[in-house]
């Protein structure tokens, strides 16, 4: 993943600015901080890179999603449609605010499908927590149609898709509110961190207060102002924001390079027997952090993964590993061994969580093999990788078909 690949003098410079003032807190201390405000600068840079009106940096992608849900007006007892393929944080965020997750099917885009969403809608459905997975984006025109038809609130978990876009609009800004992650495995990293984005002024003001115990931040002296709402501490530190700022500046370059490498690999592998690709609804808007192969079925995917592992090439399937991104690995959730079970216990589960029937999602995830795309690959490295990939896939498919 690119964020950790390009890391150097630019990040050190921003951190040193903060260390020289000794002010690690994003608010107050105006006299001592020598006009160094890294969280603010990071937010301005995010707005510039993704064309958002408002951004608010927080402590993680997870807290950014929770903030995005609450700022969009979602709360206790609201049904929120979620995908069964996402990092668990999207589901946790819904539970943490007392809302009820309702699982719908994904499709070959690796994201919730409009058809899946339509089938999961009940009279209590309030919102969709749409997750753009593996650097790609959901099929938005079809999803916008369902959102309009049923008057739903669209919240985006773009934790894995910062810098991806759909027909010119960046993920995170396709709905009412959105969230990016800056954890260590994302396109840009701050170590830990996240950013809430929106074009809606009210939602922004809410998020700005919510992520800091409800302080309204009006006037220069935080702590002596009004507290219109209850919130919590989801603040980012100036040190993390300093790294996040330098990394955000790199995002356009990272996306461009990823695309070059992913497109080259896709062209190169297109005619290898058994190889298909996850559908990219807007190929020009891919953030391209992952190359996502779809094999004919679960068995052939498993055979290919085994061959890739034997050849030391990398590449993984979210089903056959213990990675935490697919509902098959979420027994704790199914059994409600969770801190967020209160609403579910009081209000009743909207679905039989222990026995969810999601055959399309099972089929797609069973067939998926993902590879992290690297920004720093040279042409020689790309060619070596492609040759190894092709050989491993051909070998597995030949054994599999006879
Ligand atoms: C990484 C990730 C998160 C969580 O972000 P953190 O910064 O680790 O809290 C949420 N959703 C998705 C889709 C992610 O990939």
Condensed to tens digits (0 to 9), the pLDDT of residues 287-328 reads: 999 999 999 999 999 999 999 999 998 888 988 777 889 998
Q: How many A from CA of 136 to the centre of ligand 1?
A: 15
Phi, psi of 326 (to 5 degrees): -130, 150
Closest atom of ligand 1 relative to the 89 alpha carbon: 10
CB of 156 sitting under 6 A from ligand 1: no
User: Per the structure block, which two tokens stand in for 64?
Assistant: 């950014």
Taking the CB of residue 20, how many other CB atoms lie within 10 A of it? 11
Q: Is the distance from the beta carbon of residue 84 to the nearest atom of ligand 1 less than 6 Å?
A: no
Cα separation of the two ends of the chain: 36
Give 53's Cβ-side CA count (13 Å radius): 11
pLDDT given at position 220: 81
Q: For a substitution probing ligand 1, which of 57, 160, 195, 370 has the most ligand atoms within 8 Å of its CB? A: 160
**Which of 4, 59, 61, 190 to mutate to test ligand 1, by most ligand atoms within 8 A of the CB atom?**
61
Ligand 1 and 41: CB distance under 6 A = no
Instruction: Note whether 72 and 155 are within 8 A (CB).
Output: yes
Which atom of ligand 1 is closest in space to residue 160's alpha carbon? 15
Cβ–ligand 1 contact at 60 (below 6 Å): yes
Phi, psi of 336, rounded to the nearest 5 degrees: 55, 40
Q: What is the pLDDT of residue 221?
A: 86
57 CA distance to ligand 1 centroid (A)? 14
- Cβ 61 under 6 angstroms from ligand 1: yes
CA distances from 370 to 97, 260, 262, 318, 351 (A): 32, 17, 12, 8, 30
Q: Is the CB of 87 under 6 A from ligand 1?
A: yes
In sequence order, what E strands does 159-228 have? Answer: 165-166, 169-170, 177-181, 194-198
The pLDDT score that the predictor gives to residue 277 is 98
Residues in the chain: 402
**364-376 residue pLDDT tens:** 999 999 999 999 9
Task: Give me the residues of the chain with pLDDT under 50, please.
Answer: none
Relative to the CA of 86, which ligand 1 atom is closest?
13
Residue of minimum CA distance from atom 2 in ligand 1: 159
For the chain, list the domains and their CATH numbers.
Answer: 2-251 (3.40.640.10), 252-321+362-401 (3.90.1150.10)
Q: Is the CB of 90 under 6 A from ligand 1?
A: yes
Q: How far is the CA of 194 from the centre of ligand 1 (A)?
A: 9
Residue 3: its pLDDT value, please?
A: 66
Q: Mutation test of ligand 1: which of 90, 159, 184 has the most ligand atoms closer than 8 Å to its C-beta?
A: 159
User: Could you give the 3-state DSSP secondary structure of residue 342?
Assistant: helix
Instruction: Look at residue 25 in the predicted model and tell me its pLDDT.
Output: 97
> Does ligand 1 have an atom closer than 6 angstroms to the CB of 180?
no
3-class secondary structure, 95? helix
Q: Tell whether ligand 1 has an atom less than 6 A from the beta carbon of residue 364.
A: no
Positions annotated as catalytic residues are 186
Helix (H, G, I), strand (E, B) or coil at 67: helix
CA of 107 to the centre of ligand 1 (A): 21
Return the residue whose CA atom lies nearest to atom 6 of ligand 1.
61
Specify the pTM: 0.97
């Amino acid at each position: 993943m690119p964020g950790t690949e390009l890391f150097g003098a630019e990040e050190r410079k921003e951190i040193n600015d903060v260390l020289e003032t000794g002010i690690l807190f994003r608010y107050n201390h105006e006299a001592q901080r020598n006009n160094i405000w890294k969280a603010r600068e990071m937010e301005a840079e995010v707005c510039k890179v993704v064309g958002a009106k408002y951004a608010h940096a927080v402590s993680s992608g997870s807290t950014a999603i929770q903030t995005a849900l609450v700022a969009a007006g979602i709360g206790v007892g609201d049904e929120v449609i979620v995908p069964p393929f996402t990092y668990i944080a999207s589901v946790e965020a819904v539970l943490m605010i007392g809302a009820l997750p309702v699982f719908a099917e994904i499709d070959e885009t690796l994201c919730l499908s409009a058809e899946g969403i339509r089938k999961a809608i009940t009279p209590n459905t309030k919102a969709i927590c749409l997750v753009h997975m593996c650097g790609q984006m959901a099929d938005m025109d079809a999803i916008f149609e369902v959102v309009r038809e049923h008057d739903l609130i669209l919240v985006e978990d773009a934790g894995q898709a910062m810098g991806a876009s759909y027909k010119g609009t960046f993920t995170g800004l396709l709905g009412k509110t959105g969230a990016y992650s800056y954890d260590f495995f994302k396109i840009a990293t701050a170590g830990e961190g996240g950013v809430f984005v929106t074009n809606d002024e009210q939602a922004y003001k809410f998020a700005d207060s919510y992520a800091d115990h409800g302080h309204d931040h009006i006037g220069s002296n935080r702590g002596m102002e009004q507290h219109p709402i209850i919130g919590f501490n989801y603040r980012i530190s100036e040190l993390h924001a300093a790294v996040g700022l330098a990394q955000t500046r790199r995002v356009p370059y990272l996306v461009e390079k990823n695309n070059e490498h992913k497109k080259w690999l896709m062209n190169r592998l297109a005619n290898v027997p058994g190889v298909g690709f996850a559908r990219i609804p807007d190929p020009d808007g891919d953030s391209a952090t992952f190359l996502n192969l779809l094999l004919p079925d679960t068995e052939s995917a498993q055979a290919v993964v085994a061959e890739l592992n034997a050849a030391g090439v990398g590449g993984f399937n979210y089903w056959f590993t213990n990675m935490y991104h697919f509902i098959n690995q979420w027994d704790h959730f199914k059994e409600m061994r969770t801190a967020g079970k209160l609403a579910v216990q009081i209000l009743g589960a909207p679905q039989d969580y222990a026995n969810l029937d999601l055959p399309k999602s099972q089929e797609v995830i069973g067939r998926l093999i993902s590879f992290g795309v690297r920004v720093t690959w040279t042409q020689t490295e790309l060619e070596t990788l492609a040759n190894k990939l092709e050989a491993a896939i051909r070998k597995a498919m030949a054994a599999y078909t006879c």
